[in-house]
């Protein structure tokens, strides 16, 4: 391990004031939980609204003659077809079709492409983009901006009070707007499966926005612990666990991020592998698993078939506070990937019954119609 000092977000002192438990994450000292703890923070977000500091994530603006067209050289998404005011989930791919990172890219205005990548990957991501897109785009890192996520069934009620124009936004809309006299980039999206917003804020105004949102009785601060259990219930992959440079979009079950026209053009990194896996099936498929007995199966736990032969591995797993049982994502051969297939997970040497389950484990509640 390197001994580089941990970075902090603009909200670091706000977390300490709330007596958060701070841990190293993605090179930053981040709140893993506040005083309520992971379980209560998780359930609060599902029932009310949770406020997350995700300022460790990498924000950037890509500009150039045609940044949308250029971005298609490193991703399998239809960015030429991305309309102003919309964002897309996409994948930064290596030449073998492995996932370098997953990301959001959108058009909050008519000025280039706004990209948000994972904190732990951001230095490499922007190097990969700069190299592949040299001469076509300039990349402005928005290191002077914080990022908050307001998530949960009461998020829209809270935020539309301050920003009435967000009431008309639907899932994956993105806009620039001025609220409280502050220039914001607001998307209706998140990483919990709930309705909500991700809000990019000039760093020096982050404390103010944080405090205003927290002054609502519906809103509680939520740490990275609950962020992880919420995204797992929502069936959303976590980079470095469910996704890495060996995993293809097909293996990950993210074929939706490979747009049809891009498939036909076959002009993105790893297009040949994606075409082959779509035609013949991948070597492994990501499945959701419910653990039907015993302890939660966590990352690294082996997955066995009904006869006990090891066929796969859990890539992330834990306890679902909503379902009150163990849930997991993992890789198995496609022959074992059908919903309802009985499998085993091996936890501390014990084979426990599990079953392939459709994801999300807990239904998404995205707002798709205004």
Instruction: Select the span of 127-135, 255-263, 295-303, 333-341 touching another protein (CB under 8 A).
Output: 295-303
The answer to whether 37 contacts another protein (rule: CB under 8 A) is yes
| Minimum distance from residue 289 beta carbon to another protein (Å) | 16
The answer to whether 14 contacts another protein (rule: CB under 8 A) is no
| The binder of another protein chosen from 121, 133, 174, 226 (CB under 8 A) | 226
The answer to whether 40 contacts another protein (rule: CB under 8 A) is yes
- Rank residues 230 and 356 by Cβ distance to another protein and give the closer one: 230
CB under 8 Å to 117, separation ≥6 — which residues? Answer: 57, 58, 60, 92, 101, 103, 125, 126
CB under 8 Å to 62, separation ≥6 — which residues? Answer: 70, 71, 112, 113, 115, 129, 133, 137, 138, 139, 140
The answer to whether 316 contacts another protein (rule: CB under 8 A) is no
Q: By rule CB under 8 A, what string of x and - marks binding of each residue 97-136 to another protein?
A: ----------------------------------------
The answer to whether 319 contacts another protein (rule: CB under 8 A) is yes
Residues in contact with another protein, counted by CB under 8 A, come to a total of: 21
Instruction: Select the span of 4-12, 140-148, 225-233, 281-289 touching another protein (CB under 8 A).
Output: 225-233
The answer to whether 225 contacts another protein (rule: CB under 8 A) is yes
The answer to whether 229 contacts another protein (rule: CB under 8 A) is yes
The answer to whether 348 contacts another protein (rule: CB under 8 A) is yes
Contact 327, 291 (CB under 8 A): yes
| Minimum distance from residue 294 beta carbon to another protein (Å) | 8
Structure tokens at 297: 């199966």
Footprint of another protein on this chain (CB under 8 A)?
A: 32-33, 37-40, 42, 225-226, 228-229, 294-296, 298, 318-319, 321, 324, 326, 348
């Amino acid at each position: 391990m390197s001994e580089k000092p941990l970075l902090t977000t603009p909200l670091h002192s706000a977390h300490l004031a709330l007596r958060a438990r701070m841990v190293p994450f993605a090179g930053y000292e981040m709140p893993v939980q506040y005083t309520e703890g992971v379980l209560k923070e998780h359930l609060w977000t599902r029932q009310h609204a949770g406020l997350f500091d995700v300022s460790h994530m990498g924000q950037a603006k890509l500009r150039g003659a045609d940044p949308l067209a250029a971005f298609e050289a490193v991703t399998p998404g239809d960015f030429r077809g991305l309309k102003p005011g919309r964002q897309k989930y996409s994948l930064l791919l290596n030449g073998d079709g492995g996932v370098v990172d997953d990301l959001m890219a959108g058009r909050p205005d008519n000025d280039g492409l706004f990209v948000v990548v994972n904190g732990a990957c951001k230095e490499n991501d922007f190097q990969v983009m700069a190299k592949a897109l040299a001469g076509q785009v300039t990349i402005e890192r928005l290191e002077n901006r914080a990022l908050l996520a307001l998530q949960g069934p009461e998020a829209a009620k809270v935020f539309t009070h301050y920003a009435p124009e967000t009431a008309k936004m639907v899932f994956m809309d993105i806009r620039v707007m001025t609220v409280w006299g502050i220039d914001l980039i607001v998307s209706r999206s998140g990483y919990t499966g709930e309705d909500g917003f991700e809000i990019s804020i000039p760093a020096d105004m982050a404390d103010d926005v944080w405090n205003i949102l927290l002054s609502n009785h519906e809103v509680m601060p939520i740490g990275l612990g609950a962020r992880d259990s919420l995204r797992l219930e929502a069936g959303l992959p976590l980079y470095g666990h469910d996704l890495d440079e060996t995993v293809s979009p097909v293996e990950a079950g993210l074929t939706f991020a490979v747009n049809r026209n891009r498939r036909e053009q076959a002009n993105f990194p790893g297009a040949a592998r994606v075409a082959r896996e779509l035609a013949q099936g991948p070597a492994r498929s990501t499945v959701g698993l419910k653990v039907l007995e015993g302890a939660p199966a966590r990352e690294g736990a082996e997955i066995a078939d009904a006869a006990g032969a090891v066929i796969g591995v859990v890539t992330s797993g834990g306890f679902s506070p909503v379902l009150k049982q163990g849930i997991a994502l993992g890789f198995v051969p496609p022959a074992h990937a059908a919903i309802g297939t009985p499998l085993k997970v091996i936890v501390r040497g014990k084979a426990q019954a599990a079953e392939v389950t459709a994801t999300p484990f807990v239904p998404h509640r995205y707002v798709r119609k205004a």
